[in-house]
Chains A and B, each alone.
Chain A
Amino acid sequence: MTTVTAPPPGKRRRREIGRAPQDTRGNWSTYLALTAVLALSAFPLYWMFVIATSTDEAVSQTPPSVVPGNQLLTNLREVFTMQDVYFTASLINSFIVASVVTVSTLFFCSLAGFAFAKLRFKGRDPLMFVVILTLTVPNQLGVVALYILMGKLGWNGTLLAVIAPFLVSAFGVFYMRQFILNSVPDELVESARMDGALTLRIYWSIVVPAIRPALAVLGLLTFVATWNEFQWPLITLNGTEFPTSMVALSDLASGNYVIYRRVLAGAFMATIPLLVLLVLGGRQIVRGIMEGAVKS
């Protein structure tokens, strides 16, 4: 990298030195490198589509084919009709689980975030510290005991088992608190109270309208994370008739003779909803991740 560091003479060069990178215009090599990054990011997805649309012969040829075939419907039909995989049900289940978890996370986290940001009560700061502390506990730790607990409740193998533990999240509370702290003026809350509005009323009429952008961000992140959850659903739902789509995928890939085009057709189906979300809400997802970084 000596070529880069050696300061070559010239006027243009000198002007660039000392300028913050974010004010420096990207040159052709920047775009070239970024295009390569993007291509590598997208390639596995593209290739998944290629195999999902191919025949067995096309999959096993050398060099591997990189053009989509026309067998998508045939392959999908096999996926949806495969015994003991319950693929159709699994997609519906994933939708139910991710939607319920998302709505409930938005509601509970914004309520708690509002209380922590704008209401005065005893023990507020220590309690908020506890919330942040729980962020650092690795979820692996409790998995065995959680399974036993769900067994006692009779919830193992039902969707309740994969919904109940995720109804509210520490990250969500934290994120909402930070947002409400900055976006809801104290005077507004105070004057509403002067007018005799109850706290719940203030939440609904003042806070919720003001935090819509943050709700969108948290909602998208939660939906994606819940949809992709694999380990816990595998433990509690495996072998039942109520798998989530991730569990169904692992069933699809199990067995003595695995048919790639079928497995990846299933994987493709389970990925589409999230790709749609990324297209529709990519801007919000990016913002959510970047804002989370600054605050932590």
Chain B
Amino acid sequence: MSLTHKAPPVVPQDSEPHPPATPPKHKLWFYRFDTKRTPYVFISPFFILFAIFGLFPIVFNGIVALRTWRLDDPDRNGWAGFDNFERLLHDEDFWNALGNTFGIFILSTVPQLLIALMVANLLNRKLRGTTWWRVGVLLPYVTPIAASTLVFAVFFSRDNGMANWLLSLVGFTDLGDPLDWRAYKWSSWIAIATMVNWKWIGYNALLYLSAMQAIPKDVYEAAAVDGAGPWRQLWRITVPMIRPVVIFTVVLSTIGGLQLFNEPMLFEANPAAATGGSNGQWQTIAQLIYKVGWKDLNLGYAAAMSWALFLIILIVAALNAFITNRLGGGRR
């Protein structure tokens, strides 16, 4: 940080630091109270608000999952034991949503991070208008997901959609018999993954860029001995050196990707339905939780599903971090 020592001119510096002239007793008590207790007062808003709106819901969610809890029939309640979880194991919708979530997750995360690496590598040069390029790649990041998803929903429409028109230019589809992107699993997954990729590539590129610029320059000098060109330089030096950030982004996009909600919701012609296509072709788990909780009004079951999702995220995030670490040459 370059802007550190702008010493604020507020406190009068002319008076030498001196021991305070013994103040009256009640004032002394007040100062002691101030130094001892005020720190706790300062940090308490975070902990109080987190306890109410963060911790309590998580704990309470565990209780709801073990109960019958219906919004349409509040009188029908009571302990359900593990019924909700058992039902989950045999719920075809759940397994379908799990498959969709993973499919979209892979289609969106792998290209996203690889392209972000390329973009970061491009930005990691001496450029004219450095800031301008960096702000430019953030355009998708600041665009509201709801807005951009609706644009893509139009882009991928069957009739007169721009995606079909572009594909027809290269002879992939015939405009007389246009591809209905929403009809199949593979095409709807690609459409949704495209939205996710578009949104997050620039953001991840900046994370990588920031780590790339922290690499000591003599590392590259040392590598010059074995004559590594730019491409080898990227994969043999830069990427291993920024491994911590790569792992961080993998974990981050795992947590985000497995909770994917906005894109699949608004890709639907009628978002309020939350079905993820006529046969749930692209219904994700987060979307299913919303449907079960607020369309089918079964909060107990939705809570159980949240727990399942949480466990899955935990396992996959740990697994991905481990794999990335190994791939990045981290055998230590």
Give the interface of A toward B (CB within 8 A).
Answer: 1, 4-7, 17-26, 30-31, 33-34, 37-38, 40-42, 44-45, 47-48, 51, 59-64, 108-109, 111-112, 114-116, 119-121, 124, 127, 130-131, 134, 136-149, 164-165, 167-168, 170, 173, 179, 182-183, 185, 188, 190-200, 203, 205-206, 209-210, 213, 224, 227-228, 230-231, 234-235, 238, 245-246, 249-250, 253-256, 258, 260, 263-264, 267-268, 270-271, 274-275, 277-278, 282-283, 285-286, 289-294, 296
Provide the B217-236 mask, 1 if CB < 8 A to any CB of A, else 0.
10111011001111111000
A-B contacts, 26 listed (Cβ < 8 Å): A6-B229, A21-B125, A22-B212, A23-B217, A45-B151, A48-B150, A51-B154, A64-B162, A134-B54, A138-B255, A140-B310, A143-B306, A144-B57, A144-B303, A168-B50, A183-B6, A185-B7, A205-B11, A238-B272, A249-B144, A253-B150, A267-B146, A270-B144, A277-B142, A278-B139, A286-B135
Q: Which of A250, A270, A275 contacts B266 (CB 8 A)?
A: A250
* Structural contact, A230 and B145, CB atoms closer than 8 A: yes
| Distance between A1 CB and nearest chain B CB, rounded to angstroms | 5
Q: Which of A33, A62, A275 contacts B165 (CB 8 A)?
A: A62
A267-B151 contact given A231-B262, A275-B142, A285-B142, CB 8 Å threshold: yes
* Structural contact, B165 and A64, CB atoms closer than 8 A: yes
Task: Report how far A182 CA is from B125 CA in the complex, Å.
Answer: 28
- Please, which residues of chain B bring their CB within 8 A of the CB of A124? 39
* 7 new A-B contacts at CB < 8 Å, known A149-B56, A170-B46, A191-B17: A24-B126, A115-B39, A130-B47, A138-B255, A164-B49, A198-B34, A290-B210
| Distance between A198 CB and nearest chain B CB, rounded to angstroms | 5
The B28-81 residues at the A interface (CB cut-off 8 A) are 31, 34-36, 38-40, 42-43, 45-47, 49-50, 52-54, 56-61, 64, 69
Q: Which residue of chain A lies nearest to B60 when distances are taken between CB atoms in the complex?
A: A145
- Please, which residues of chain A bring their CB within 8 A of the CB of B10? 205-206, 209
Which A-B residue pairs are the 4 nearest by beta carbons? A18-B224, A142-B57, A282-B135, A290-B210
* Structural contact, B11 and A18, CB atoms closer than 8 A: no
Task: Report how far A294 CA is from B208 CA in the complex, Å.
Answer: 9
- Please, which residues of chain B bring their CB within 8 A of the CB of A278? 135, 138-139, 142
- Please, which residues of chain A bring their CB within 8 A of the CB of B136? 37-38, 41-42
Q: Which residue of chain A lies nearest to B302 when distances are taken between CB atoms in the complex?
A: A144
- Please, which residues of chain B bring their CB within 8 A of the CB of A282? 131, 134-135, 138
Give the interface of B toward A (CB within 8 A).
Answer: 1, 3-8, 10-13, 15, 17-20, 23, 31, 34-36, 38-40, 42-43, 45-47, 49-50, 52-54, 56-61, 64, 69, 119, 121-128, 131, 133-148, 150-155, 157, 159-160, 162, 165, 175, 198, 202-203, 206-207, 209-215, 217, 219-221, 223-224, 227-233, 238, 245, 248, 255, 259, 261-262, 265-266, 269-272, 286, 289-290, 293-294, 299, 302-303, 306-307, 309-310, 313
| Distance between B320 CB and nearest chain A CB, rounded to angstroms | 14
Task: Report how far A17 CA is from B221 CA in the complex, Å.
Answer: 8
* Structural contact, B43 and A254, CB atoms closer than 8 A: no
* Structural contact, A249 and B147, CB atoms closer than 8 A: yes
Q: Which residue of chain A lies nearest to B136 when distances are taken between CB atoms in the complex?
A: A38
Q: Which of B43, B232, B262, B307 contacts A115 (CB 8 A)?
A: B43
- Please, which residues of chain B bring their CB within 8 A of the CB of A210? 6-8
- Please, which residues of chain A bring their CB within 8 A of the CB of B270? 254-256
* Structural contact, A121 and B140, CB atoms closer than 8 A: no
Q: Which of B19, B43, B198, B215 contacts A116 (CB 8 A)?
A: B43
Task: Report how far A170 CA is from B59 CA in the complex, Å.
Answer: 19
Q: Which residue of chain B lies nearest to A63 when distances are taken between CB atoms in the complex?
A: B165
- Please, which residues of chain B bring their CB within 8 A of the CB of A179? 1
* Structural contact, A22 and B57, CB atoms closer than 8 A: no
Task: Report how far A255 CA is from B6 CA in the complex, Å.
Answer: 56
* Structural contact, B160 and A263, CB atoms closer than 8 A: no
Task: Report how far A127 CA is from B153 CA in the complex, Å.
Answer: 45
Task: Report how far A164 CA is from B48 CA in the complex, Å.
Answer: 12
* Structural contact, B45 and A45, CB atoms closer than 8 A: no
- Please, which residues of chain B bring their CB within 8 A of the CB of A25? 125-126
Task: Report how far A289 CA is from B137 CA in the complex, Å.
Answer: 12
Task: Report how far A260 CA is from B153 CA in the complex, Å.
Answer: 9
- Please, which residues of chain A bring their CB within 8 A of the CB of B57? 141-146, 149
Q: Which of B6, B46, B150 contacts A112 (CB 8 A)?
A: B46
A290-B207 contact given A115-B39, A198-B34, CB 8 Å threshold: yes
* Structural contact, A253 and B271, CB atoms closer than 8 A: yes
* Structural contact, B217 and A20, CB atoms closer than 8 A: yes
- Please, which residues of chain A bring their CB within 8 A of the CB of B125? 21-22, 24-26, 30
| Distance between B161 CB and nearest chain A CB, rounded to angstroms | 8
Q: Which residue of chain B lies nearest to A7 when distances are taken between CB atoms in the complex?
A: B227
* Structural contact, A289 and B206, CB atoms closer than 8 A: yes
Task: Report how far A118 CA is from B119 CA in the complex, Å.
Answer: 38
* Structural contact, A21 and B8, CB atoms closer than 8 A: no
- Please, which residues of chain A bring their CB within 8 A of the CB of B302? 144
Q: Which residue of chain A lies nearest to B65 when distances are taken between CB atoms in the complex?
A: A144
* Structural contact, B146 and A293, CB atoms closer than 8 A: no
| Distance between B311 CB and nearest chain A CB, rounded to angstroms | 10
* Structural contact, B266 and A253, CB atoms closer than 8 A: yes
